[in-house]
A = this chain, B = another copy of it.
Amino acid sequence: MSDTLELLGFIAYTELTTFTRLAGAATTAPTPEHQLRLVRLAGDAVSRMERILARIGELDGDPDAQLLAFDGTFDDYNARTVPGTWWENLLKGYVGNGVADDFCRIAVDGLDAQTRALVIEVLDDNRNAEMSVRVLADAASGDAVLASRLALWGRRLVGDALGLLQNLATRNDALGRLVLDGARQRAGAADVDQSWVFAQLTAEHTRRMGRLGLAA
């Protein structure tokens, strides 16, 4: 049970971080229409955070404490990956959230059915990624220089994001256990280790970049 609370706290924290990134992007949006769209997406992230926190409460956990325990987890990552442009910021969200969500999708496989259904629903409910795909794919298809810069930036991002998650799975016993349990269920094999997990995450990332028309 405490593993469940730990994972839910981590997911809620990723939503909080998503909020912060989108709210920041809103203040530098190129048009008022983009600003409004990003503000809505930031609001969606708060709603997803609250749904996850509500589940922690139902499981008799302390929602805010579970979230706040992860405070600072992404600070190094964010300091190393400061986006230089609006496009880089969008791609950062698309890549970073994509990898983190995939990690959580694996880790959630071992949880009770109700929590799993909620997490999957929350992770699927992502207007954010759809908008990023459309906007980034449009921009990259019309500008080869931008496309190659973004492809390079995507490689930087995914390297740092995978490093962060690997670190987290090592330092946080609960998350490490859950992601291995999930991986073993998925692979249908007991001898699966973390490298299997990260190979999966990398493959998913490659597919995601492909949807933008960018090389991973």
A residues adjacent to B (C-beta < 8 A): 16, 19-20, 23-24, 26-27, 32-33, 36, 39-40, 42-43, 46-47, 49-50, 64, 67-68, 71
Contacts and interface: CB of A to CB of B under 8 A. Distances in A.
Copies of this protein in the assembly total 2
A22 to B, nearest CB: 9
A26 B33 contact: no
Nearest to A27: B20
A68 B33 contact: yes
Nearest to A63: B36
Contacts of A64: 33, 36
Contact of A42 (B32, B42, B71): B42
A68 B40 CA distance: 14
A24 B43 CA distance: 14
Contacts of A26: 20, 23
A67 B26 CA distance: 16
Contacts of A43: 19, 42-43, 46-47, 50
A110 B27 CA distance: 35
A141 to B, nearest CB: 26
Given A16-B36, A16-B39, A39-B49, 6 more contacts: A19-B43, A20-B27, A23-B42, A40-B46, A43-B46, A46-B46
Contacts of A19: 23, 39, 42-43
A16 B26 CA distance: 11
Contacts of A27: 20, 23-24
A155 to B, nearest CB: 28
A216 to B, nearest CB: 31
A40 B19 CA distance: 10
